[in-house]
A and B are shown apart, each in its own frame.
Chain A
């Protein structure tokens, strides 16, 4: 039952919250007889791949990489029967961080007693597969109301118990999920501010090395963030998180369908007009707007995006599976190129059901039975291309052509990632010693340097990013027309 509630309420991120809040789910679970359901991964297949993509070993597969940008929402727990298969799949995809929901209700099933035994082995298992965890302390308690001072104290006790138990193994703790609206937090902003202040302090006191993740908003909810930041001490949290879902709008687009439909049209229907400026911003414009507000309250904190995806159902707001690959890779690169975002945690590894027409099921990089979608491979290739690199510069950065350069500080080698939001565009690349152009599925093409002529490579771009590697600076410029002038 807990699993059912979990999936119902969380799987859509912001959407799930909203829908539950309106009480509109007429879920089969509510009506179904109480009998054991098979695990999700044993449900019959409703989709079948014909393609396969060869993945070479990931050179960082066994390593714990605290600086890695590549996270995932675990969407499982110690009781998940195929957890090890999932962890293997994450490791193969190059995932290095997991956002782990540690449900208050499950951990404190008996008032004042914290059942942490099952989590010990689970946390170690994740680390064995090279995955560091963020603990997300969330979920309604059977005993406590975190909107009250007593509930806050109970939450702090829970946090202390967890932080103490996992000190040295989990050092990042998130204070609630999407407290800015929907059903995950039914209190006010002021009540969440009180919880964050107290829990942040409790966590820092218990483990001075620990980092506290605060705000954790559905949408890039700048007005709510401002309201919160006015009420909390600057040092009660270390990392600011948000969930900028925007299906089906592209990350670069100055129009956010999801925000118009949900944030403006539903959450704030009474007080906001359709002209709300946040809805007419690209993902990075929204992020910069948030950064401007945060900076007013002190030194800017790192941003982590602890949920994002373009869900792949055949229904309104859905996205094609092939397109999900492109959008996810572009989103990562834009986020890292912003200089504001450190990590990204897609929602999630695997579909939570097998209904191809259901937004709440079609959320994964893989199917419910752990058969990879295209985006799984695109993630795996992106991680192989970019892990160990740091963002260095943006040669071209919009409005519709992007060329972003990363550099490996140990080897000095660079990787350039480029795409266009137009149907086509061209990039002129300086070729200092041969260039390899690799697509999102790892197909590589090598162009040697002509020893006699300093001949650039004109790389055709599309909405699907390419990774370019080669010696030297990898300088690039947009070419305005396809041919004659080059």
Chain B
């Protein structure tokens, strides 16, 4: 049976993505809902007397970034990589417009929106999709595409059975037909390899095959998002892939949480502790060996193996990461907010630098509450009252720096230094995004007509080219200026920088600080 989920959406279990299945339960959901009631006192741990205001968890941000207008703010950009889990659970929430406006300001172009089966089919065979009309229109008004995550069954359907699969397909058809042309991407369940799906891989494969076919029939332009795994779960994926027609889905999704490990690190704490040591589902019990390779792989290596697996079935499908973050809780597995911003930008660039990942949807846009120790609440780009965290600003700048540009090559691709190049054909400019996983390193870039450096928060520094074309620049010679021969030595750190210069700008790692 499906686990009981609270009214108002699946958020109690979904808030932390894979975290939630084993780690967070109703108590935190109750706290979250209490916290969302703005101005209300939180109940104490026993649910009795409210605690005095000075004892409540809280956060104050004193850091602000002036964001310039985003040139693509009003446009719908189907090819944009910048998605988000919008965490719009209450379709009648009064601040949806503000919520979406803030996403728009952050440069988000795609939203992952639950189409919660149990809320839509409250009466058997009747689908109330009207509340979604307003939501879909609101997304579009703010320049956002969305895809629907079709999940969470009503009590009277069990999608693990043939009858349940048929019911799910009818529900899917109803949604797809209703929003045809407005929502053309549909996801078949959330994390069916873990606690959100209490069935077997075989049962999921049966449902995904049938629903994929139903969606394609209902809207031939529709794309079907399948697998949608917690972790980069190759064990489970290969079981499912053997059982479903390869053309029943179009895009493969996964949620490669790995906190607190870095994306580049060949070690994944979360997969070790929450996948290998604790079985993700009854099916996984006894199936995950202690030397399970993804434990000792970077995010890019895990993704590479997923692509290799897909290649055994046909042309690899595009990958979308439909959940990801480093939760900023003050507790085990947590990450400081400043570091969260670095890691998320690095993940985006690495993902796009693989050439296989097309979109990323961080989990999520908004904290689920104010409990700073809660993994399910400390998930957002913004706090529960919509105050931006560092990551919000870093995302907004990343989107401004990279939207409309295309990935062209990786000048450096580890193990210590990364330099990934995006091209703006219109402006004739390249943007190199670079960082190191060491404490410090250097990148030497060619300076043909001036170089602009931007950090994570948009601080801009300009280095002119002081010569005439074809001549060395007319600057003072010194070891402690950048080279006079038309290059700039850029110090790197664990926080990425954007280096903007003329097309064909080249970049070479300088492992040592001197010349």
Q: Mark B310-341, 1 if CB is under 8 A from A, else 0.
A: 00000000000000000001111111111100
Measured in the bound complex, the distance between the Cα atoms of B462 and A55 in whole Å is: 28
Measured in the bound complex, the distance between the Cα atoms of B338 and A446 in whole Å is: 16
User: Any chain B CB within 8 A of the CB of A207?
Assistant: no
Chain A residues with CB under 8 Å of B497's CB are: 320
Add 8 more A-B contacts to A356-B453, A446-B59, A463-B494 (CB < 8 A). A24-B477, A52-B63, A323-B440, A358-B476, A359-B478, A423-B437, A443-B59, A460-B329
The answer to whether A53 touches B62, judged by C-beta atoms less than 8 angstroms apart, is yes
The answer to whether B482 touches A315, judged by C-beta atoms less than 8 angstroms apart, is yes
Interface residues on A, range: 35 or more
The answer to whether B336 touches A461, judged by C-beta atoms less than 8 angstroms apart, is yes
Measured in the bound complex, the distance between the Cα atoms of B513 and A231 in whole Å is: 37
Q: Mark B61-93, 1 if CB is under 8 A from A, else 0.
A: 111111110000000000000000000000000
Known: A50-B65, A443-B337. A314 touches B56 (CB 8 A): no
Measured in the bound complex, the distance between the Cα atoms of B259 and A249 in whole Å is: 27
How many residue-residue contacts, CB under 8 A, span A and B? Answer: 237
| Chain B, range 465-515, C-beta contacts under 8 Å to A | 475-482, 488-495, 497, 510, 512-515
Measured in the bound complex, the distance between the Cα atoms of B46 and A115 in whole Å is: 75
User: Any chain B CB within 8 A of the CB of A272?
Assistant: no
Measured in the bound complex, the distance between the Cα atoms of B476 and A19 in whole Å is: 13
Output the nearest chain A residue to B445 by Cβ-Cβ distance: A314
The answer to whether A460 touches B336, judged by C-beta atoms less than 8 angstroms apart, is yes
Measured in the bound complex, the distance between the Cα atoms of B379 and A122 in whole Å is: 52
Known: A25-B476, A247-B513, A458-B330. A464 touches B338 (CB 8 A): yes
User: Any chain B CB within 8 A of the CB of A187?
Assistant: no
User: Any chain A CB within 8 A of the CB of B55?
Assistant: yes
Instruction: Report the minimum CB–CB distance from B226 to chain A (whole Å).
Output: 30
10 CB contacts below 8 A, A to B, read A19-B479, A46-B461, A247-B513, A315-B489, A357-B475, A440-B338, A441-B63, A459-B334, A462-B335, A462-B339
The list of the 10 closest CB pairs from A to B, nearest first, reads A359-B480, A50-B458, A483-B332, A357-B482, A54-B62, A47-B461, A442-B62, A248-B440, A460-B334, A462-B339
Instruction: Report the minimum CB–CB distance from B509 to chain A (whole Å).
Output: 13
Chain A residues with CB under 8 Å of B61's CB are: 443
User: Any chain B CB within 8 A of the CB of A424?
Assistant: yes
Tally of B interface residues using CB under 8 Å:
78
Q: Mark A443-454, 1 if CB is under 8 A from B, else 0.
A: 111111111100
The answer to whether B459 touches A48, judged by C-beta atoms less than 8 angstroms apart, is yes
User: Any chain B CB within 8 A of the CB of A299?
Assistant: no
The answer to whether A423 touches B262, judged by C-beta atoms less than 8 angstroms apart, is yes
Output the nearest chain B residue to A442 by Cβ-Cβ distance: B62
Q: Mark B249-281, 1 if CB is under 8 A from A, else 0.
A: 000000000011010010001000100010000
User: Any chain B CB within 8 A of the CB of A473?
Assistant: no
* Other-chain residue from A27, A356, A374, A450 in contact with B462 (beta carbon distance below 8 A): A356
Measured in the bound complex, the distance between the Cα atoms of B439 and A466 in whole Å is: 18
* Other-chain residue from B372, B453, B491 in contact with A445 (beta carbon distance below 8 A): B372
Measured in the bound complex, the distance between the Cα atoms of B328 and A424 in whole Å is: 13
Interface centre among A316, A318, A319, A360 (most CB of B within 10 A): A316
Measured in the bound complex, the distance between the Cα atoms of B461 and A281 in whole Å is: 34
Known: A441-B63, A482-B260, A484-B277. A448 touches B515 (CB 8 A): no
Measured in the bound complex, the distance between the Cα atoms of B462 and A48 in whole Å is: 9
| Chain A, range 199-232, C-beta contacts under 8 Å to B | none
User: Any chain B CB within 8 A of the CB of A37?
Assistant: no
Known: A482-B260, A482-B332. A444 touches B269 (CB 8 A): no
The answer to whether A446 touches B58, judged by C-beta atoms less than 8 angstroms apart, is yes
Known: A355-B481, A356-B461. A318 touches B491 (CB 8 A): yes
